[in-house]
Amino acid sequence: MLENDVKLLMAIQYRLPLCEEPLAELAEREGFDEESVIKRVKRFREKGIIKRYGANLNYRAFSSECRAALVGAAVKENRIREVAQIINATNPKHNYWREHEHYSVWFTVKARSKEELFTKTKELMRKCRVNDYVVLPTKRIYKMDVKYDLIKGVSWSEKGLEKFEVPKVEELGLRVSMLRRLESLDVCKRPFSKFEEYTEGELVDLIGELIKKGVVRDFSGVLKERKIGFSENGMVVMKTDNPEKLALKLVKIPQITHLVEREVPEEWEFPVYFMMHATSRDPIEDVARGLEKYGAEEVRVLYSRADLKA
């Protein structure tokens, strides 16, 4: 990848200005030609390198999907693609084939309540003809910020502790459809001009307020990891008798993208989970080897064998 492309992809992740002309302002700040930036961002979108750019929404602010769970399913290798197709029809955020001796398929489910999570998962697993699975509802999110340092070759975010309480969109009197549009803006000089119900300045101010409330996590571009050479995806699970204490220490590790405490059944003894992404396994292994000093009793890294949504 060319040096200027790396610089642009880093900038759109880490330094995208929240203003009426974000790409034009980004070009000026980074010393790029405005027309070139818009043209290259369009090209990156077409190639799938940039998935979207805009307001990154916090799912917990939406009543219809404010509860989430990670599900591990025991699926024989010769059925993984078949089962993945059925799961993908529900449009999960993630669906991976991972290296584990028992649970091979790992995907996410969202719903209005914890009860609905279990009901939806049970029905989905029935359709998949899978009887052995584990449902791990989210208890608390400590960090959620997926960014890739193309120079270091590892995911990297120095974002702090995520807000515990987040208001619902409905309580704020906002339309869900309008917010969804803010998550994936048009690639042009004035993307907010496409919205009829607000002025461009009002939308910029609104996003700023929603970031303060935790409804929007940040304003940035989101990249597709495998398109930029980040071929390794490690789900790190940890056993501990004090999940909160451990998680609060782990928040400070910049290589972590997702850091979550989960409710776990007896057959799954790992309540703390985090994600790392890298161009090789070395940076992931380096972090995993040092986790005992934070209080982790047992650490396992479940690497991705395939992105089943790809």
Residue 44 CA to its chain's centroid (Å)? 19
* Residue 18: pLDDT band with limits 50, 70, 90: very high
* CA 30 – CA 15 distance, rounded (Å): 9
* CA 128 – CA 280 distance, rounded (Å): 33
Is the pLDDT at 281 greater than 90? The verdict is yes
**Domains of the chain as residue ranges with CATH:** 3-56+169-226 (1.10.10.2890)
Mean pLDDT of the chain: 96
Is the pLDDT at 2 greater than 90? The verdict is no
* CA 60 – CA 113 distance, rounded (Å): 11
* Residue 207: pLDDT band with limits 50, 70, 90: very high
pLDDT confidence of residue 270: 98
| Percent of residues, the chain, with pLDDT higher than 70 | 100
- Token pair in block for residue 158: 């120095």
Is 156 within 8 Å of 148 (Cβ atoms)? yes
pLDDT confidence of residue 63: 94
* Residue 1: pLDDT band with limits 50, 70, 90: confident
Across the range 154-179, mean pLDDT stands at 94
- Token pair in block for residue 230: 């980040």
Across the range 209-229, mean pLDDT stands at 97
pLDDT confidence of residue 310: 83
Is 280 within 8 Å of 234 (Cβ atoms)? no
* CA 237 – CA 171 distance, rounded (Å): 35
Across the range 220-226, mean pLDDT stands at 97
For 157, half-sphere exposure in the C-beta direction (CA atoms, 13 angstrom radius) is 26
